[in-house]
């Protein structure tokens, strides 16, 4: 329930409460006023008629003069005055007996305001007609109609106030709360890692403080992210330098030692052939073990730092890696496609090694978890040669992104992409395979060199 709807609901409930209370007060006060008005009017009319009747008793034309006096009461409100014969038929009545102004008043309002019945009867003896009777009834029609007119005006005024208050609150809050949408959009951007977002200065002091605090937080997050990215980049650079140094040491030092051992074993094998069978067998064993160790060292060097990456570039290195994969996994087929290959030689050492490590980690994860039959690695540069796109897709078992616990593999790939200012997106569903898309910015060429078109 939105804030505007809540406030409108509160205003409506308050209005209904005030309306019910107002109706109760109006009915109570009007009922008392009608009762008092009818009582006083009836008493005054009875007093006047009593004096008239006393003065006319015994007169021959008393009844006709009484009828004239009753007709003269036509302008008297709230009363029905009638002269009735012995059969109960009215000889004459005032206009109040036929008043129809009740028609404009709701029935429920009349039922609440109609007072207790006021009726006064007096027998007359005029012109030798002792059975004549004058009846005075209190008629609240006019008073109730006036009360309804006043109350309806009050209800109409209250309804207009309620409508105006709701419209005013709705519009005012809509304008005042408009910055909330801007704040939510900015928070959504912060959630997705866009720490460059800033809120504008708002007029309301509350939102102005929120804007200042948000901008301070975003600035701190941006600075912290920049520092973390710098540290991650330095850490990865140090790691790659150590791997390169280790690969070089393995190639230069251990490789030379193994070559010397291999040469000595070959020499011993030649000299001992046919003369010393045991020495010859030992020399052959040394040759076999040294060849195996040399193969292991060569694979370790490839894992640590493939020499072709610096010499031949990313595309050729990945092609060789995919060929090795297909040779080791005949039950799985990996397809490798490249677009924009002429530009891939200008990526730079940092982008080359990080892209290679990401593909290497993806292949490791597929080998361990995916149980895929086919996979593809796609490499492409943007039209302006400013971005490198990398897409790895497999048809394996997939996983649920909401349930799977993030491992170090995905986290490491994401950190590599983030350290270069890029992004990594994972799309996966159980039973539908996995797609990893990486976008890495390509740094401009050093020393003002121009990249080939």
In tens, the pLDDT along 288-344 reads 888 888 888 888 887 788 878 878 888 888 888 888 888 888 888 888 888 766 667
Provide the 10 A C-beta neighbour count for residue 207.
21
Please calculate the CA angle 320-326-327 and round it to the nearest 5 degrees: 90
* Calculated CA dihedral for residues 268, 274, 275, 279, nearest 10 degrees: 40
Distance CA 48, CA 40 (A): 12
| Domain spanning 3-175: CATH 1.10.238 | no
Who has greater pLDDT, 69 or 198? 198
Distance CA 99, CA 78 (A): 9
Report residue 449's pLDDT band, with 50, 70 and 90 as the boundaries. very low
Q: What is the reported pTM?
A: 0.56
> Going edge to edge, which strands form the sheet with 434-441?
333-339, 374-381, 387-394, 434-441, 423-428
The percentage of the chain sitting over the pLDDT mark of 70, rounded to a whole number, equals 72
Q: What is the pLDDT of residue 66?
A: 62
In tens, the pLDDT along 87-143 reads 656 656 655 565 544 556 777 776 776 666 566 666 666 555 556 666 666 666 667
| Domain spanning 308-453: CATH 3.30.565.10 | yes
Cα 366 from chain centre: 37
Q: Report strand pairing: 434-441 vs 387-394.
A: antiparallel
Distance CA 147, CA 27 (A): 9
For the chain, domain boundaries: 3-175, 212-305, 308-453
Whether residue 404 has pLDDT greater than 70: no
Q: What is the pLDDT of residue 274?
A: 72
In tens, the pLDDT along 38-66 reads 677 667 666 666 666 665 555 555 556 66
Provide the 10 A C-beta neighbour count for residue 143.
23
């Amino acid at each position: 329930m939105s804030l505007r709807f809540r406030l409108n609901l509160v205003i409506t409930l308050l209005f209904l409460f005030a309306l019910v209370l107002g109706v109760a007060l109006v009915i109570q006060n009007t009922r008392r006023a009608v009762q008092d008005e009818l009582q006083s009017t009836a008493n005054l009319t009875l007093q006047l008629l009593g004096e008239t009747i006393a003065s006319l008793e015994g007169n021959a034309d008393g009844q006709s003069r009484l009828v004239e006096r009753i007709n003269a009461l036509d302008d008297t409100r709230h009363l029905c005055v009638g002269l009735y014969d012995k059969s109960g038929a009215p000889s004459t009545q005032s206009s109040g007996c036929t008043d129809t102004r009740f028609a404009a008043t709701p029935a429920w309002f009349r039922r609440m305001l109609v007072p207790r019945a006021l009726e006064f009867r007096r027998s007359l003896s005029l012109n030798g007609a002792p059975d004549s009777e004058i009846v005075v009834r209190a008629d609240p029609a006019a008073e109730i109609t006036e009360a309804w007119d006043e109350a309806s005006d009050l209800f109409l005024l209250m309804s207009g106030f309620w409508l105006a208050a709701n419209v005013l609150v709705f519009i005012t809050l809509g304008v005042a709360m408009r910055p909330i949408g801007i704040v939510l959009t900015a928070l959504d951007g912060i959630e997705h890692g866009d720490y460059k977002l800033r809120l504008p200065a708002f007029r309301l002091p509350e939102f102005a403080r929120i804007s200042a605090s948000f901008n301070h937080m975003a600035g701190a997050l941006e600075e912290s992210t920049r520092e973390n990215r710098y540290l991650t980049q330095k850490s990865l650079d140090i790691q790659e330098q150590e791997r390169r140094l280790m690969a070089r040491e393995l190639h230069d030092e251990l490789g030379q030692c193994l070559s010397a051992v291999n040469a000595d074993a070959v020499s011993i094998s030649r000299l001992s052939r046919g003369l010393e069978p045991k020495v010859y067998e030992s020399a052959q064993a040394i040759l076999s073990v040294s060849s195996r160790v040399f193969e292991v060292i060569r694979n370790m060097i490839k894992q640590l730092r493939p020499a072709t990456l610096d010499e031949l570039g990313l595309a050729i290195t990945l092609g060789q890696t995919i060929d090795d994969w297909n040779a080791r996994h005949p039950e799985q087929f990996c397809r490798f496609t490249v677009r924009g290959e002429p530009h891939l030689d200008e990526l730079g050492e940092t982008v080359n090694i990080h892209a290679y490590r990401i593909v290497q980690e993806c292949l490791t994860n597929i080998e361990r978890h995916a149980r895929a039959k086919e996979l593809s690695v796609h490499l492409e540069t943007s039209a302006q040669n400013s971005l490198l796109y990398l897409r790895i897709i497999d048809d394996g078992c997939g996983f649920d992104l909401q349930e799977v616990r993030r491992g170090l593999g995905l986290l490491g790939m994401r950190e590599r992409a983030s350290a270069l200012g890029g992004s990594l997106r994972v799309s996966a569903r159980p039973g539908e395979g996995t797609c990893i898309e990486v976008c890495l910015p390509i740094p401009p060429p050093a020393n003002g060199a121009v990249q080939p078109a």
